[in-house]
Structure 1
Amino acid sequence: MKASLSNLPSLQQIQVEKARRSLKEFIRQAWMVLEPSTPYVHGWHLDAISEHLEAVSRGEIRNLLINMPPRHMKSIQVSVMWPAWEWLTNPHMRWLYSSYAATLSTRDSLKCRRLIESPWYQENFGHIYQLTSDQNVKNRYENDKSGYRIATSVGGAATGEGGDRIVVDDPHNVMDSTSQTMREATLQWWDETMSSRLNDPKTGAKVIVMQRVHEKDLSGHVLDQGGYDHLCLPAEYEGKKIFTSIGWSDPREHEGDLLWSERFGRVEIDTLKRAMGSYAAAGQLQQHPSPAEGGVLKRHWWKFYTQLPEEIEEQIQSWDLTFKEAKDNDYVVGQVWGRIGADRYLLDQTRDRMNFPESLQAVRNLSSKWPNTYTKLVEDKANGPALISTLKKEITGLIPVEPMGSKEARVAAVSPQIESGNVYLPHPTIAPWVNDLIEEAAAFPKGAHDDMVDAMSQALLRFSRGGGWLGWLTAESEEDEDGQDDAQSDRF
């Protein structure tokens, strides 16, 4: 018995092994090394970040976007702790870090090196690897297992330098966020320089961690492109569940629940909101750069369903197309809507950047999937007339719609249907793309895109045709120049 007991690991050995296996445990133990005079204050969001970074380290996530408020430990966790922890199992990993300013990426590089060289780290993990003496400066250091860490800035990264982990921490300076020139320079740098720097595109990973500063910031850019796991952590919960590929979703249950109440309570968050103003707070705190209640269509108006409604009385398709062969900027959107009495249900949606042949196939596919959509509304602009001309002998019910009034007027005309609770969307748990529609609607009319909102307003106006207060908007579409019914013009 004595011999077996003597072989048991000590408490210190157990703690060391827990830190090696778990990033969140590593952070708890390493905190006192970097911040000896500041007590560690835990928050569940730190575990969520650790779980996703661990998934990156295991190769389960290749592209990760983390959006969270400032001063919530994003840099110390992602840019300081994580690389020091992963080197414990993968010391050969090569890291390329950047920020909008070299001083910030260098600051975190120094903190990481200070942690690695600390007595605590060396005593417990120094046998795994050592930093080399011939390449150990503040913006670049290497270890004896061929791993390295490089710190650079937006617009930097010398030609030829690459990494197994490409991480950008705050790519935008908040003070420059309103400058289109500065934003676009950052996006160009990411697309043309950093995105091609993975040493092995099949196994490497890219991580972006930032607060939202503009709808067309780097977060908005990569979300538009797709392919990123999105860990979104707003300061106040808004009732929206976004699931990531590892099965995580926000654990908060009530709207207004705070992200890190142990440090940023209600008084602190409200003070920040007043100081920032609605737009900055919406982006930097809530991670959607449009005021939460500042648009025509408010987030809390939407209703949801989890089971497909039965006994749909009427189904229609609504299409918003791009111009000519454009495929770079605008989206093609096709929606299927159903009506039961006064209630309207969004049943399905397809949305992608498509050229003309791809748009034709998208209409074919949606019409085949929903054969009872006898009416198919196609905006009589862009590729609409060409699409109708091409498909009219193949698909029935294609109706050109000449939009009347401005986009804002059309959305204002249908907004009472949404506000009154008569418009239902599929719940994000069964249709994750609904979150994008809600955000686009909240940002309207100042958002980067409005294609889903256009298709929606076109469908809802069609359902409302035939009277009521919408008559002022639809009257022109129902009469020709002589005031007679125009049977050839079925616009809404």
Structure 2
Amino acid sequence: MTTLATLPPDWRTWPLPAQERLLKTLRTAARKRKVTTRPQWETPGHLAAAIEPTTIQTPALTLIDQALIEVAEGRCDRLIITMPPQEGKSTRVTTIGPLWMLTRNPDLRIAIACYAQDLADEFGRNIRNHIISNDGTDDTLDLGLRIAPDNGAARRWRIDGHRGGVRSVGITSGLTGKPAEMLYIDDPIKDMRDADSKAWREVVWSFWQAVANTRLAPGAPVVIILTRWHEEDLAGKVLAAEDAHRWKVLNIPAQADHDPNKGETDPLGREPGEFMVSARGRSLEQWRQTRVAVGSRVWAALYQGRPTPAAGDIFQRDWWREYTSPRWIERPDGSCWAPGADEVAMSWDMAFKDTDGSDYVVGQVWARYGLELFLLDQVHERLSFTATCAALREMAAKWPQATLKLVEDKANGTAVINSLRRQVPGLVPVEPDGSKEARARAVTPFIEAGSVYLPAPELCPWVGSFRDEHAAFPNGSHDDQVDACTQAINRMLLAPILAGDLIVEADELDDELDAFEISSY
């Protein structure tokens, strides 16, 4: 091979065009030799900073880097990443991510899918352009990669001398050709309008089932990156499927909303209520302004990663009253007591499979003061039968004042009652009467009249989920908290009034009570 050391001694006497051709050949050969010793970057973030030194690295992006490393090292083959919009997730995951993977393995066949072909093309083009612009010439960074001269279109290109490269497709397109050895799905839903379209959600789901899954090579990892628009978007559907256990979910909410009392933690290690460090430099006040401007539904979905369905027509958010000081005292033995309460009771809705797609077990503690009802405590988890029994025993020990324990008398509830009847006193089976909606509508006059109080989020962080589920009912995916709530209000407020045990003035009770056709339980 000709090198600078072995140049013909008379090469400088050659015609100028011949000299230039020779030098060009030598430079090309030198670059190819560099490719055989490709540089390595520890994380996608390190690569991003090498390409663009002004890259901002937030704690959220560091967490994403760690998740992508797990994928690259084979420790995770199904990853969902959700984070607020415009915080750098797509650039880091779907542009820098594939580029970083190719620097590690230029033979890797990568596919990128988006809601539209144009967006997918943009990702493919950006990755390709980074390779073209960083080839070591003119003192640029050398990624150690070259685009094959005969295969460099934006939506489908290959690494020169290797079989790896990138294909970019829209959700409605086919994923033809060689099997994908890694798949990125970035924003399969464009906006709220598409998210609320059941037809489009089915298109996305069909792409995943019939196109993406069938074109994956054995062992190929999949990374889904999205802002959550709808509870039945692609992330919601795969997490409700039988293989949901395969997926690692990295949800980084704009504002920490975990409940430490339930053992929950924030992925960034924040305190409840703390906002994330923004890649765009958003201040605390700007985060708050955004939360107000976009509204509760969009905030919960796009910014918190916990979408709720369109509002239902039964429970209005502004009907609930709120209390900000504890209505209970904690005693030396760890139990709780509600001073002055006329009645304290528990209400349980049972469903135990202990899987991600199953319903929740819900146990609530309510205290009645005259004609006002206060929610004091709640268990809301997916539990096995054994764990459900343990949770009920623990709640009974924590709230000894709650001598009445209402348990919906369906298959699961009956099993719990039979198992615990001799261990936990006061278990009362409740036979549901009428539809869920009918039972809910029967108690709404009390809520609308301001007779039902919920704890402020500072007291009980789980109350946000309670409010969301009621606001979505009956359109939501889950109604377990609704069932337990209506069961309690029905038994503690409505039934005593209908039975004459609670005396109220006529103007204190909505005329709708006259039309109630519901059992005392």
TM-score range, shorter chain: 0.5 to 0.7
Q: How does 1:135-284 map to 2 (within 5 A)?
A: 135-143=151-159, 144-158=161-175, 161-174=178-191, 175-201=193-219, 204-225=220-241, 226-227=244-245, 228-235=247-254, 237-240=255-258, 249-253=267-271, 255=273, 257-260=275-278, 262-265=280-283, 269=287, 276-284=294-302
| Distance in structure 2 (CA, Å) of the matches to 1:40 and 1:423 | 36
Alpha carbons 1:388, 1:398 under 8 Å: kept:
no
Give the C-alpha shift of residue 282 in structure 1. 3.9
CA deviations over 1:167-200 (Å, ceiling 9, x no partner): 1111111142232221232223223332444312
Alpha carbons 1:318, 1:456 under 8 Å: kept:
yes
CA deviations over 1:184-225 (Å, ceiling 9, x no partner): 322232233324443124xx3221111222232223323434
Partner of 1:457: 485
* CA spacing shift, 1:437–1:192, aligned 2, 3 Å: farther
Give the C-alpha shift of residue 81 in structure 1. 0.6
Partner of 2:43: 22
Q: 1:20 is paired with a residue of what secondary structure? A: coil
Partner of 1:72: 87
Alpha carbons 2:112, 2:120 under 8 Å: kept:
yes
Aligned with residue 350 of structure 1, among 367, 370, 382 = 382
| Distance in structure 2 (CA, Å) of the matches to 1:87 and 1:369 | 49
| Distance in structure 2 (CA, Å) of the matches to 1:146 and 1:250 | 38
Which residue identity lines up with residue 361 of structure 2 in the other structure?
G
* CA spacing shift, 1:51–1:329, aligned 2, 3 Å: closer
Partner of 1:36: none
Segments of structure 1 that go 5 or more residues without pairing to the other structure are 1-15, 33-38, 323-327, 352-361, 428-433, 480-488
Give the C-alpha shift of residue 102 in structure 1. 0.5
* CA spacing shift, 1:348–1:138, aligned 2, 3 Å: closer
Alpha carbons 1:81, 1:112 under 8 Å: kept:
yes
Alpha carbons 2:323, 2:455 under 8 Å: kept:
no
Partner of 2:361: 334
- For the pair 1:401 / 2:431, whether they are aligned, the reply is yes
| Distance in structure 2 (CA, Å) of the matches to 1:223 and 1:302 | 37
Give the C-alpha shift of residue 100 in structure 1. 0.4
Give the C-alpha shift of residue 455 in structure 1. 4.5
- For the pair 1:98 / 2:98, whether they are aligned, the reply is no
Partner of 2:75: 60
Partner of 1:35: none
Task: Tell me the C-alpha RMSD between the 2 structures.
Answer: 5.0
Give the C-alpha shift of residue 438 in structure 1. 5.1
Which residue identity lines up with residue 454 of structure 2 in the other structure?
E
Q: How does 1:83-94 map to 2 (within 5 A)?
A: 83-94=98-109
| Distance in structure 1 (CA, Å) of the matches to 2:318 and 2:177 | 46
Give the C-alpha shift of residue 400 in structure 1. 3.3
Alpha carbons 1:403, 1:491 under 8 Å: kept:
no
Q: Which has the larger radius of gyration?
A: 2
Give the C-alpha shift of residue 459 in structure 1. 6.5
Alpha carbons 1:70, 1:284 under 8 Å: kept:
yes
Alpha carbons 1:41, 1:263 under 8 Å: kept:
no
Give the C-alpha shift of residue 52 in structure 1. 1.7
| Distance in structure 1 (CA, Å) of the matches to 2:417 and 2:59 | 55
Alpha carbons 2:362, 2:481 under 8 Å: kept:
no
- For the pair 1:289 / 2:307, whether they are aligned, the reply is yes
- Percent identity, aligned pairs only? 17
Which range moved further: 67-76 or 163-172? 67-76
Partner of 1:318: 348
Q: 1:107 is paired with a residue of what secondary structure? A: helix
Partner of 1:44: 59
* CA spacing shift, 1:180–1:329, aligned 2, 3 Å: farther
Which residue identity lines up with residue 131 of structure 1 in the other structure?
I
Q: How does 1:418-433 map to 2 (within 5 A)?
A: 419-420=454-455
| Distance in structure 1 (CA, Å) of the matches to 2:320 and 2:113 | 37
Aligned residue pairs, count: 424
* CA spacing shift, 1:248–1:91, aligned 2, 3 Å: farther
Q: 1:231 is paired with a residue of what secondary structure? A: strand
Segments of structure 2 that go 5 or more residues without pairing to the other structure are 1-36, 338-343, 369-373, 397-402, 422-426, 502-517
* CA spacing shift, 1:43–1:452, aligned 2, 3 Å: same
Give the C-alpha shift of residue 124 in structure 1. 5.4
| Distance in structure 1 (CA, Å) of the matches to 2:412 and 2:168 | 51
Which residue identity lines up with residue 66 of structure 1 in the other structure?
I
Alpha carbons 1:66, 1:231 under 8 Å: kept:
yes
Q: 1:87 is paired with a residue of what secondary structure? A: helix
Which residue identity lines up with residue 86 of structure 1 in the other structure?
M
Give the C-alpha shift of residue 54 in structure 1. 1.8
Alpha carbons 2:356, 2:382 under 8 Å: kept:
no
Which residue identity lines up with residue 250 of structure 2 in the other structure?
L
Alpha carbons 2:440, 2:486 under 8 Å: kept:
no
| Distance in structure 2 (CA, Å) of the matches to 1:140 and 1:160 | 11
* CA spacing shift, 1:420–1:71, aligned 2, 3 Å: closer
Q: 2:200 is paired with a residue of what secondary structure? A: helix
Which residue identity lines up with residue 305 of structure 2 in the other structure?
Q
| Distance in structure 2 (CA, Å) of the matches to 1:473 and 1:138 | 68
* CA spacing shift, 1:316–1:156, aligned 2, 3 Å: same
Q: 1:158 is paired with a residue of what secondary structure? A: coil
* CA spacing shift, 1:416–1:369, aligned 2, 3 Å: same
Partner of 1:7: none
| Distance in structure 1 (CA, Å) of the matches to 2:128 and 2:182 | 17
